[in-house]
Amino acid sequence: MNILIVGSGGREHAMAWKIKQSPKLNQLFIAPGNAGTALLGTNLPVGVSDFSGLKRVVLDNQIDLVLVGPEVPLCEGLHDFFSSDEQLKNIRFVGPYRLGAQLEGSKDFAKEFMMRHQIPTAKYLAVTAGNLQEGLAFLKTMNAPYVLKADGLAAGKGVLIINDLQEAEESLREMLGGQFGSASSKVVIEEFLSGIECSVFAITDGNDYKILPVAKDYKRIGEGDTGLNTGGMGAISPVSFADETFMKKVEDRIIRPTVEGLKKDQISYNGFIFFGLISCSGEPMVIEYNVRMGDPETEAVMLRVKSDFVDLLLGAAEGTLGEKHIEIDSRTAVTVMLVSGGYPGPYEKGKVISGLAQITTSIVFHAGTVQKGPDVCTDGGRVLAISSYGETMKEALDLSYKNAQSLSFEGLYYRKDLGFDL
């Protein structure tokens, strides 16, 4: 079959790498892709929100299955667009409709969903300009630190954690006043949870689900989890504290109730559910839902999926996931993200990357790269994800770090302490 992956990051390159191994694949296309995905399939110059452009390439290339990487086109209703188009409605599609995508697109929607289905999460209140006074009063009932979240999509920047009450009150007013545009016209105030985080992924057809390997990502730019938040500086799978006992709680209290809850609410859903969890003294709580795979978690998780990934995608798209099996590699997989100097602040693009051809013992996924004539150049903040297997976490990390040393571009930076907390 012909498959189209929508997206252009390391997550999409890792999915392309896994899909490429499937005997079910005929031709692979990526829109828009990057210099790495071009080595595995055909990049098509169409943006992820260009619905009519995507329709054209799907029809032109006889695509049988569409897999969406990022959340934005899902929240914008790409699946709804496909299912309401005569020419596209029979094409298999992996990713939720606009309504289900609200689990990520609206924090308030997600919190109401969790309350309705008794899924463990932090106490909260949703505040708009209309109930600001109630919001300020709610803040006074909470203990520091105060967690304020823009309701809508804010490219991972919409969460503020503030120590001082007065500052939190001020921030609440600023957010409602448009600090994150319309994304913060509603703000969710949340109880602060303390613990260690992990990312759990399930693929579902709306009825059955399969759990993918659990991972931990490292969001802060600096070592020891300090400095600004980034899209993710690396990931490790499995996660030592997410043992069988913990994962059973996650499945019983969170995953199954979520899939059942979607059914009860008559929210037709297929694709991935990403549970951003925090372990509070061994008890899993939901920090957030995402309606896609994680990045950079996917660059580690794909290495551990032994089964045919296309078969799982077909199960999700066709409603036959219950008949499928998922086999997981027992080895550890890690990914180390190489980023541009200055990231997550302002950084320059277009730096020539050297050393790619020398790497044979890690898998290099491209996150933000572009081919310019004979050169592969940097084209984003996160540039390359160096993924490795190991019998232990240390062995896998050592390999990625060794290979990272043979790569260079001006300003290259990476964290050298991944796994320090495990």
Q: Which of 294, 380, 381, 419 binds ligand GLY (CB under 6 A)?
A: 294
CB-count burial class (<10 Å; 0-12, 13-18, 19+) for 118: exposed
Q: Which of 179, 290, 378, 388 binds ligand GLY (CB under 6 A)?
A: 290
Task: Please tell me whether residue 220 binds ligand AMP under the rule CB under 6 A.
Answer: no
Binding partner selected for residue 232 from ligand GLY, ligand AMP, none, CB under the kind-specific 5 to 8 Å limit: ligand GLY
Measure the CA–CA gap between 207 and 412, rounded to whole angstroms: 45
Of 200 and 396, the one with the shorter C-beta distance to ligand GLY is: 200
**Residue 257's CB: how many other CB atoms inside 10 A?**
19
User: Smallest distance from the beta carbon of 330 to ligand AMP, in angstroms?
Assistant: 28
Print the binding letters for residues 256-295 with ligand AMP: x by CB under 6 A, - otherwise. Answer: --------------------x----------xx-------
Residues near 32 by beta carbon (within 8 Å), at least 6 away in sequence: 8, 43, 44, 45, 46, 47, 48
CB of 13 closer than 8 Å to CB of 386: no
CB of 301 closer than 8 Å to CB of 313: no
Count CA atoms closer than 13 A to 97's CA, side-chain side.
14
Reading the block at residue 422, the tokens are: 């495990």
Of 64 and 295, the one with the shorter C-beta distance to ligand GLY is: 295
Beta bridge partners of 146: 162
Measure the CA–CA gap between 334 and 276, rounded to whole angstroms: 18
Measure the CA–CA gap between 385 and 233, rounded to whole angstroms: 9
Of 297 and 308, the one with the shorter C-beta distance to ligand GLY is: 297
Binding partner selected for residue 127 from ligand AMP, ligand GLY, none, CB under the kind-specific 5 to 8 Å limit: none
User: Smallest distance from the beta carbon of 216 to ligand GLY, in angstroms?
Assistant: 10
CA 381 vs CA 15, 134, 136, 164: distances in Å: 20, 39, 37, 31
Task: Please tell me whether residue 158 binds ligand GLY under the rule CB under 6 A.
Answer: no
Count of residues that interact with ligand AMP, criterion CB under 6 A: 11
User: Smallest distance from the beta carbon of 148 to ligand AMP, in angstroms?
Assistant: 10
Task: Please tell me whether residue 197 binds ligand AMP under the rule CB under 6 A.
Answer: yes
Task: Please tell me whether residue 225 binds ligand AMP under the rule CB under 6 A.
Answer: no
Of 276 and 411, the one with the shorter C-beta distance to ligand AMP is: 276
Of 218 and 409, the one with the shorter C-beta distance to ligand AMP is: 218
Nearest residue relative to ligand GLY (C-beta): 294
Q: Which residues bind ligand GLY (CB under 6 A)?
A: 217, 232, 290, 294-295, 297
